[in-house]
Amino acid sequence: MAQARRPFFCGNWKLNGSIAESVALATDVRNGVATVRDADVAVAPSFTALHAVAKRLEDGPVSVAAQDCFWEEKGAFTGEVSPGQLADAGCKSVILGHSERRQLLGELDAAVNLKARAALKAGLTPIICVGETLAERDAGETLGRILAQLDAALADMSEAELGRIVIAYEPVWAIGTGRNATPAQAQEVHRFIRTRVASRSAAVAAKVRILYGGSVKPDNIRALMAEEDVDGGLVGGASLSADSFVRIVKEGASV
């Protein structure tokens, strides 16, 4: 990654953990990264554990992310959680447009955009996920798919708003499969994303952090981070163990 950007590692815990388990894992992560000065670290527990984890991590170096939000602030929207409620619970960021939501729950590009803009209004950092399926990659459609997801997600954002987002490239075929993208495959897409952001603002493109996600492990993060446009990791399975997540942060931050 380039010196101009500060590495960012976020553990996406997905649908895992009781409140007590989440607080314990967060505590171990906080203790494990206590000596890390040169990276931002976040964990993303389930909704039910957000407040308790945020309380435990208060005033420490590890921040809390949610895994989704709605785009309205309040009203008759049964089952939804607003960005303001997430901020109230202690969240600083929110993962949006994860491929599991796109694939299993029918999340649309337009919804990702509405959610991201609502999150920005509430003072949260949207971590916007994009990524192609294996069929799309095999058909040579990777960059076209990324372009469509990215343009839709970033539509109608001001330059100031663009400057506050984080983007995560997560190839669907690499998620939970143990088969990470090669550093060169990640770099190709990360560069493409940065170039696309540069068409809106060169200043933002130089600063925006683009995380890689998909089977990130302690033994592959260094090679990924060695690529110029890889600025951190969005880590699923390996973030459920404090030991492996802390190793990823330490390895990745020291590249």
Q: How does strand 209-213 pair with strand 125-130?
A: unpaired
Coil, strand or helix at 128:
strand
Can you read off the two tokens belonging to residue 150? 């990215």
Which residues are part of the catalytic machinery? Answer: 98, 170
Residue listed under structure tokens 């949207």: 126
Helix (H) / strand (E) containing 231: none
> Which listed residue (197, 205, 216, 253) binds ligand 13P by CB under 6 A?
216
DSSP three-state, residue 170: coil
Number of other CB atoms surrounding residue 119 within 10 Å:
30
Residue 14 makes CB contacts below 8 A (sequence gap 6+) with 67, 100, 236
The contact pattern for ligand 13P, residues 8-47, with x = CB under 6 A and - = no contact, is ----x-----------------------------------
Which listed range, 21-29, 145-153, 169-177, 219-227, lies at the site for ligand 13P (CB under 6 A)?
169-177
Number of residues near ligand 13P (by CB under 6 A): 14
> Given the complex with ligand 13P, which of 172 and 208 has the nearer CB atom?
172
Closest distance to ligand 13P from the beta carbon of 235 (Å): 5
Site string for ligand 13P, 73-112 (x = CB under 6 A): -------------------------x--------------
**Please, which residue, 53 or 234, has the CB nearer to ligand 13P?**
234
CB of 74 to ligand 13P, least distance (A): 28
Considering the rule CB under 6 A, would residue 214 count as an interface residue with ligand 13P?
A: yes
Helix (H) or strand (E) holding 105: none
Closest separation between CB of residue 137 and ligand 13P, Å? 16
Q: Quick one: 28 exposed, middle or buried, by C-beta within 10 A (0-12, 13-18, 19+)?
A: middle
Q: How far apart are CA 105 and CA 90, in angstroms?
A: 26
> Is the Cα dihedral 199, 201, 206, 208 positive or negative?
negative
Q: Compute the least distance from the CB of residue 227 to ligand 13P, in Å.
A: 18
Residue of 2, 77, 176, 243 that binds ligand 13P (CB under 6 A): 176
Range 220-239, binding ligand 13P (CB under 6 A) = 234-238
State both tokens at 161.
Answer: 């708003």
Cα dist from 13 to 46, 98, 190, 226, 245, whole Å: 7, 12, 23, 25, 11
* Least separation in angstroms between CB 151 and ligand 13P: 21
130 lies in the site for ligand 13P, by CB under 6 A: no
Residues in the site for ligand 13P, rule: CB under 6 A? 12, 98, 170, 175-176, 213-216, 234-238
